Amino acid sequence: MKSITPRSFVVGLVITLLTGCQQSNIKPDTTCVVPSTQNLAQAFEQVMAAMDNRQCQLSFSEYEARLLSIAEGDSAHTNNQYFFDYYKKAATLGVISKEQARANYSQRFKPTFDSALPDNASICALSGRVDEITEQLDTELRLKEQGIARINGDKEAWFSVQRHHQQLVTLLKASAMACTDQLL
């Protein structure tokens, strides 16, 4: 049986005491709590303050989902500004990229379908991807319904977005058919 030397006993005691002290000083962080209020302005104020805490930035998606949910129950034409500010702050803090902030905002609150359509591709080059692009357009349409119709409460803009979506899908399919006919 090995005996414990006085030196290893003291080192073990010090480590135990230090570890015990560290654990007793840990306090739960209440600043990262997802807001429970139904008041959109108050919820955004709480989230914007919490985002200054590096640890709370890990809750970005939970905050976003909660804010979207609150906003749907409190629609107003100016609600998009809250989200613009939220995404801008998240990008400034490095939580998401500037491109992701722009995409998150645009997909919900802008009437155009920029994210689903490739930038510099010819229509004929897209003809093989019509179903994929149509699916992306449909997904973005659902996000725009949430942002424009339910969060901003702008029914007129929402109907315009729906017409634009339908025109894009029709144009995309007709162009793809025309390109296919050219190849024959």
Q: Are residues 79 and 133 in the same domain?
A: no
Ramachandran region, residue 28 (left: φ > 0; alpha: ψ -120 to 50; beta: rest): beta
Spell out a b/e string for 44-58, using b for 16 or more CB atoms within 10 Å of the CB, else e. bebbeebbeeeebbe
How far apart, in whole angstroms, are the C-alpha atoms of residue 40 and residue 152?
A: 12
Q: pTM higher than 0.85, yes or no?
A: no
Q: Write out pLDDT tens, residues 53-96.
A: 999 999 999 999 999 999 999 899 999 999 999 999 999 999 99
Q: Mark whether 143 and 100 lie in a shared domain.
A: no
| pLDDT 10s digits, 7-22 | 555 555 445 555 554 4
45 & 102 share domain: yes
Residue 64 lies in a domain: yes
Task: State whether 39 and 104 are in the same domain.
Answer: yes
Q: Does a structural domain hold residue 3?
A: no
Q: Are 178 and 135 in contact (CB under 8 A)?
A: no
136 domain residue, yes or no:
yes
Last residue of a domain, one of 108, 137, 167: 108
